[in-house]
Amino acid sequence: MRARIAVLGGDGIGPEVAREGAAALRAVAARFGHEFELTEALVGGAAIDATGAPLPPETLALCRASAAILFGAIGGPRWGPAAPVRPEQGLLALRKELGLFANLRPVTVDPRLAHASPLKAELLVGVDLVVVRELTGGIYFGEKRRTETTAFDACTYSVEEVERVVRVAGRLARGRRRKITSVDKANVLETSRLWRAVAERVVRAEFPDCTLEHQLVDSCAMQLVRRPADFDVVVTENMFGDILTDEASVLAGSIGLLPSASLGAGTLGLYEPIHGSAPDIAGQGVADPYGTIMSVAMLLRHSLGLEAEARAVEAAVGAAIGAGVLTPDLGGTARTAEAGAAVAEAVRRSRV
């Protein structure tokens, strides 16, 4: 297969982990006989510094012309919340422009890393869930106003926006344990009452073989740490999903381990670890690249349709962890490049 892949490193540790994700892609190409054209471009704070815009037109054009996007991380104290132009605006615009409305964030627990989680080991047995977060609606994209004494952020959702993301959750559930948990705040928010009604209708009509339960977001936040193994597919709106998936990262032991895929109606997707730019450790070579490399596995599976290659990458990460190649967030001493090299070598030796 030939495919162009845009590599947007971004800010902080973003370029460091994206570099190891790109190395994993090159290892896959060498092992399985593919040709991946990896093209780097600016985004976020780095793009603001160079061009004045967080998403330069040439970066957007590259992404549109690519089969998939590998993304690092954006942001940092140089471009804080009060800045007139912020790195996060670039990522939000990219999601909107490319129609990437569904964010998939799988959470599993490697028993060998259970010690890194603050939860009791018995609570982590059997944890295997995926959060489907709506990505282009809600309060992040609603009307915003601010005066000297007040501020206003509108949260809006349409029936169509809820329908399409619930369908993504339903299709995923059919390939898993067929259990959908829809998370809202229907006891307070009108958008959540709409969300709940639409989710009920779509699942009942289109996924009758799946069970559906509704949970309020505050209850869900509690249950994620009390009984995480009970969850299968969780579907929720933009802000709730952002918060809940960061909470869920403690199950795996480190936010550096978790991947994500942002998908739309077609095969183009954006793949990134769920962690931020971590400016406090940027440039030190100690960032955990495993979340980015697992995002590469999702890229291979969802955008390129390369299931065997995706499994090879996932197995390679497991092999590196099993060999004790652990970065400081996991209690080890491995460097970012060392962890990436261990995965790349395991991919090249893969018998998948």
Is 144 tagged catalytic? no
Catalytic residue among 140, 157, 271, 290: 140
Express each pLDDT in 211-242 by its tens digit: 999 999 999 999 999 999 999 999 999 999 99
The answer to whether residue 110 is domain-embedded is no
Q: Place 348 in a pLDDT band, splitting at 50, 70 and 90.
A: very high
DSSP secondary structure string for all residues of 214-242: EEEHHHHHHHHHHSGGG-SEEEE-HHHHH
Is 153 tagged catalytic? no
pLDDT for 23 equals: 98
**% pLDDT > 70, the chain:** 100
Is 232 tagged catalytic? no
> Residue 340 is which amino acid?
G
Are 153 and 245 in a shared domain?
yes
What would the mean pLDDT of 179-206 be, rounded to a whole number? 98
Residue that is last in its domain, among 252, 277, 306: 252
The answer to whether residue 111 is domain-embedded is no
Task: Specify the DSSP class assigned to residue 146.
Answer: E
259 burial type by CB count under 10 A (0-12 exposed, 13-18 middle, 19+ buried): buried
What would the mean pLDDT of 21-41 be, rounded to a whole number? 98
The parent domain of residue 179 ranges over 118-252
Are 143 and 236 in a shared domain?
yes
In total, how many domains does the chain have?
A: 2
Are 139 and 247 in a shared domain?
yes
Residue that is last in its domain, among 196, 219, 252: 252
Q: Place 352 in a pLDDT band, splitting at 50, 70 and 90.
A: confident
Express each pLDDT in 238-287 by its tens digit: 999 999 999 998 999 999 999 999 999 999 999 999 999 999 999 999 99
The answer to whether residue 156 is domain-embedded is yes
Express each pLDDT in 119-132 by its tens digit: 999 999 999 999 99
Express each pLDDT in 156-187 by its tens digit: 999 999 999 999 999 999 999 999 999 999 99
Q: Is the pLDDT of residue 81 over 90?
A: no
> What is the model's pTM?
0.94
Are 248 and 263 in a shared domain?
no
pLDDT for 351 equals: 86
Catalytic residue among 110, 128, 185, 230: 185
Q: How many helices (H) and strands (E) does the chain have?
A: 12, 12
Q: Is the pLDDT of residue 80 over 90?
A: no
d(CA 35, CA 29): 6
d(CA 323, CA 266): 38
* CATH code for the domain in which residue 323 is found: 3.40.718.10
Is 218 tagged catalytic? yes
- Average pLDDT value over all residues in the chain: 96
What six digits make up the tokens of 255?
Answer: 């936010």
Chain CA centroid to CA 249, Å: 11
Task: Specify the DSSP class assigned to residue 13.
Answer: T
pLDDT for 82 equals: 83
Catalytic residue among 110, 128, 153, 246: 246
Catalytic residue among 49, 209, 218, 280: 218
Are 86 and 153 in a shared domain?
no
Catalytic residue among 232, 242, 288, 329: 242
Residue that is last in its domain, among 236, 252, 268: 252
